[in-house]
Chain A
Amino acid sequence: QAVVTQEPSLTVSPGGTVTLTCGSSTGAVTSGHFPYWFQQKPGQAPRTLIYDTSNKHSWTPARFSGSLLGGKAALTLSGAQPEDEAEYYCLLSYSGGRPVFGGGTKLTVL
């Protein structure tokens, strides 16, 4: 099974910009992996932020954006707010629709 890798932790200053990445052990991440990004705050269920690389849900704040960057999927937060402090998970789908989550990135806004 493929391994999906994320930074274990990142810190961003309030108002700052940070990029979280999502890599694949099988090679470059493409749109064909249908990259997803989820946000999970302590004690809450995850919620979907970004789907199919760069599409936002109606509840996704405009300061979040998704892209492909350097062979990885990327989630960029521009203008970080204290409420953005959370765990972020990416999900990639492989052949036959087999999905694999990354290990998560703990984002601190400090």
Chain B
Amino acid sequence: EVQLVESGGGLVQPGGSLRLSCSASGFTFSSYAMHWVRQAPGKGLEYVSGVTSNGGSTHYAESVKGRFTISRDNSKNTLYVQMSSLRLEDTAFYYCVKDRGAGIAVAATLDYWGQGTLVTVSS
């Protein structure tokens, strides 16, 4: 059974930093691209970032480019996103999502979702 468990969310001040983790199990983590999707409370879904199966290629939404860095450790079956220069508008649930394939160059083919972790940016 595929399981994705996010952690690392919490309260952070504007301008601060936070690193989210996603622990994966139930599939061969190193064979699949992975993504982060977020959802502000009461709002819709927003794509944040994706990384290929080998970590060699990434892409980001314009809203987070230059501030967020996605990475993965295939030896630990874990996906990360390092978030810096956080803004009030980054407040959201952050979901870790498995892709159906290894790449991200053609499409985001989102498959299994984690339960999410809440990041609150507030002074």
Contacts and interface: CB of A to CB of B under 8 A. Distances in A.
Nearest to A100: B47
Given A1-B62, A89-B45, A46 B109 contact: no
Interface string A76-106: 0000000000000101010011111111100
Contacts, number: 67
B108 A91 contact: yes
B97 to A, nearest CB: 9
Interface stretch (A13-21, A47-55, A62-70): A47-55
Nearest to A36: B110
Interface size bucket, B side?
A: 20 to 34
A70 to B, nearest CB: 22
A96 B47 contact: no
B31 to A, nearest CB: 18
A101 B38 CA distance: 11
A101 B115 CA distance: 18
Contacts of A46: 37, 45, 95, 113
B59 interface: yes
Contacts of B116: 45
Chain B contact residues: helix, strand, loop or mixed: loop
B113 A101 contact: no
Nearest to B60: A98
B92 to A, nearest CB: 13
B50 interface: yes
A34 B111 CA distance: 13
27 contacts: A34-B106, A34-B107, A36-B108, A36-B109, A45-B114, A45-B115, A45-B116, A48-B111, A48-B113, A51-B111, A52-B109, A91-B110, A93-B108, A97-B59, A97-B103, A97-B104, A97-B105, A97-B107, A99-B47, A99-B50, A99-B107, A99-B108, A101-B47, A102-B44, A103-B44, A104-B44, A104-B45
Interface of A: 1, 33-34, 36, 38, 40, 45-48, 51-52, 89, 91, 93, 96-104
Interface of B: 37, 44-47, 50, 59, 62, 95, 100, 103-116
